Amino acid sequence: MNATAIPATVFDIRRIREDFPLLSRTVHGKPLVYFDNANTSQKPVSVIEAVNQHYREHNANVARAVHQLGEEATAAYEGARDKLARFINASSRNELILTSGTTQSINLVAYSYALPRLKPGDAILTTVMEHHANIVPWQLVAARSGATVKAAPINQRGELIVEEFVAMLTPEVKLACVTHVSNVLGTVNPVREIARECKKRGIPLLVDGSQAVPHRPVDVQALGCDFYALTGHKMLAPTGTGALWAKREHLEAMPPFFGGGEMIREVRFSGTTFAAPPHKFEAGTPNIAGFVGLGAALDYYQSVGFEAIHAWEQQLLGYATERLREIPGVRIFGEAKEKEPVISFLLEGAQATDMATLLDLQGIAVRSGHHCAHPLMQFYEVPATLRASLAFYNTREEVDAFIVALLKVRKLLM
């Protein structure tokens, strides 16, 4: 958690914050402190303007017209695919299916890849720390196929017990699924190690990368997984954007999940032939403006640089964790050796929702609840936690304001 300090000339937080207009607003008469970034990130001006410009100057449908506007819209939309392919180091742009987000991406794999292959007695392996999006789709296809879903355990520090996960990679397991970074704990899982063990056994691995891509460089080829799902709105882009990266051989073998326009070669009532991946999986009109915004978001990340982003966020995580530990009665959930800037906690004797409501009155935006991770809450034997999730545009001063507000809340509730 202790990263090397970043010189102000390299990482100018004041200048960066000027790029995010919403950060300057007030809430309940107090300056906003936005610590709900794991829920959704704020958007820089460049993303907002890219979407605005698309609708003002280039609005048309993609891949359906030869007129100038259609060509411009298609170039911008497909340009976002190219940028994203480079961003995660895909070997080909055609391995990248553009979706509405991680949830759709995982459901695509569940219904198009897993369901046709599952039979009674088979199993899907996931972990206790997963988001519901990496649990419920597997339960649905397991119920239809007669398969089961197994969950590998974690320890009290919120770390996956890797040897237990590996031991559960038994012959009946047909697919393994793991989050890259926990949305509740911030834990970074050793995906490369897990992928190696899966490959030894011939078991495909799907990775939920929603909470990883906003904070660290991701190289899908180096990770060695088979599927990687991500969400745009957590990484500065508009909502309704995301992607599924998959190895080419899987995409070639998978049948379409949705049917409609654009994903076909030829339609006859005697039968339909489908387009090659990725378009085989992209039926209908997509969120064109959203992906134009995603392309701008990727440009913004590249301009700042992940080395500087990661170092700054690790400084903030360490500082916020230390300050929280100073408050009597605070219990922190998830203290893995390697984690991203997410802190889930509770204050002894206080309800998470009450705390979040009172913090909001002080201008502090945090998340309370089960965070779409019921099994993880059950593991810690709590109904909910409070979650402060940070981003590279947050500051130490905001952490201090958060702590001051939390101390006020503590007095009110104790």
CB 94 within 8 A of CB 246: no
Q: How far apart are CA 33 and CA 400, in angstroms?
A: 10
Query: b/e per residue, 371-401, with b = 16+ CB within 10 A?
Result: bbbeebbebbeeebbbbbbbbbbbbeebbeb
Q: Both tokens of residue 240?
A: 């309704």
Cα dihedral 186, 192, 198, 204 sign: positive
CB 252 within 8 A of CB 229: no
Cα dihedral 133, 138, 141, 144 sign: negative
Catalytic residues: 372
At a CB cut-off of 8 Å and minimum separation 6, what does 23 contact? 17, 32, 34, 42, 393
CB 86 within 8 A of CB 96: no
